[in-house]
Amino acid sequence: MNMNVNTENLKSAVIAGEGILPVEIAKRLTAGGRAPLVLALRGDTEPFRGIADPLVRLRCPSLSRVIAETRRHRAQNVIMAGRVPKKIIYVPALFDPLTLRLLAKSARDDHSLLASVVRAIEDEGFPVLPYWQILPEFLAPEGRLGHRNLTDSEARDIECGRAVLRATLPCSFGQALVVADGAVVAIEAMEGTDAMIERAGGLSAKGVLVKMMRVDQDPRYDLPTVGPGTIGNMARAGLTCLAVEARRTLIVEPEETFALAERRNIAVWGLPCQSL
């Protein structure tokens, strides 16, 4: 990933889904001297108070509203970050006519849907920027990231998980999975990683979590993200190891993430980037 981003003196619009990532992005932009327009597609907007200029609550996904607000507040670019529940694509009453037309023309997998949204925004003259360059220190490096090395069993389960993900990722599902003793316990689909972890805990109460991204996934807006919440969910599910792709995964709140992993005795490992 070698895109260059310069947000200095430029007004950004942040389309903010759930989670801490869009908050961290808004904080960094504000600290750099230009508070962003935040278009909050989430219930809790309080974390953006004081770091958004202005804060606009989107009660439903509306591409028309995104474009209109971006233009009205004179933003020059757009940043997309945070979780948006995938199940909303089956509730057409939530969408404006422009978004409905886009959905009708797109495949329903994450890769195609997000790419269509990005094309529509850029067709209106607003480039979509890669958020990872705003928070470069959050990119996972390779090798041991936490307090302990892998056990032999964890290393074998990681390799099993990587082999399975190489097959599932090109099909636009299965960004993460749980493996225990060489068996796939659960694989992520529309429910998201956290729900998949909970499901795995009810099935095995042990194992490793492996999280990767497809090789043609756009790093501007769709990098896998983990953080303290991931570690907490893993601990409750009995999982003992988190393996992510180096340089293709964001670890938000890294100090808290690694401290919690140490307290829960969870290994954290950065894997070499995949090649298919």
Task: Give the helix, strand, coil percentages of the chain, each rounded to 5.
Answer: 40, 20, 40
For 107, the token pair is 């495949």
Cα distance between residue 21 and residue 244, in whole Å: 17
Where a domain ends, among 83, 105, 133?
133
For residues 92 and 150, membership in a common domain is answered with no
Q: What letter represents residue 25's amino acid?
A: I
Per the structure, the count of domains in the chain is: 2
For 154, the token pair is 């964890």
In this prediction, residue 245 carries a pLDDT of: 95
For residues 73 and 94, membership in a common domain is answered with yes
In this prediction, residue 171 carries a pLDDT of: 85
Cα distance between residue 56 and residue 261, in whole Å: 35
For residues 144 and 267, membership in a common domain is answered with yes
Q: Any alpha helices (H) in the chain, and if so which ranges?
A: 21-31, 63-72, 97-105, 110-123, 152-168, 193-203, 228-237, 254-263
Where a domain ends, among 87, 105, 133?
133
Cα distance between residue 200 and residue 180, in whole Å: 10
Asked if residue 1 belongs to a domain, the reply is: no
Asked if residue 6 belongs to a domain, the reply is: no
Residue keyed to tokens 């307090």: 147
* Nearest Cα to Cα of residue 25 among 140, 141, 136: 136
For residues 121 and 145, membership in a common domain is answered with no
In this prediction, residue 219 carries a pLDDT of: 77
For residues 126 and 148, membership in a common domain is answered with no
Asked if residue 17 belongs to a domain, the reply is: yes
Cα distance between residue 164 and residue 184, in whole Å: 8
- CATH number of the domain to which 114 belongs: 3.40.50.20
- pLDDT, one tens digit per residue, over 34-56 is 999 999 999 899 999 999 999 99
* Nearest Cα to Cα of residue 233 among 186, 184, 170, 174: 186
* Nearest Cα to Cα of residue 118 among 173, 63, 36, 38: 63
Asked if residue 7 belongs to a domain, the reply is: no
Q: What's the predicted TM-score (pTM) here?
A: 0.86
For residues 177 and 103, membership in a common domain is answered with no
Q: What letter represents residue 203's amino acid?
A: L
**Non-local CB neighbours of 59 within 8 Å, separated by 6+ positions:** none
| Greatest Cα-to-Cα distance within the chain, rounded to the nearest angstrom | 56
- Spans of the chain, pLDDT less than 70: 1-8, 86-94, 106-112, 274-276
For residues 23 and 117, membership in a common domain is answered with yes
CB 208 within 8 A of CB 179: yes
Asked if residue 144 belongs to a domain, the reply is: yes
Cα distance between residue 246 and residue 270, in whole Å: 5
For residues 128 and 151, membership in a common domain is answered with no
**Non-local CB neighbours of 240 within 8 Å, separated by 6+ positions:** 151, 154, 206, 207, 208, 234, 265, 266, 267
Strands 183-187, 176-180: pairing is: antiparallel
In this prediction, residue 273 carries a pLDDT of: 83
Where a domain ends, among 72, 99, 133?
133
Query: Which residues form the domain of 32?
Result: 12-133
In this prediction, residue 190 carries a pLDDT of: 83
Cα distance between residue 102 and residue 168, in whole Å: 25
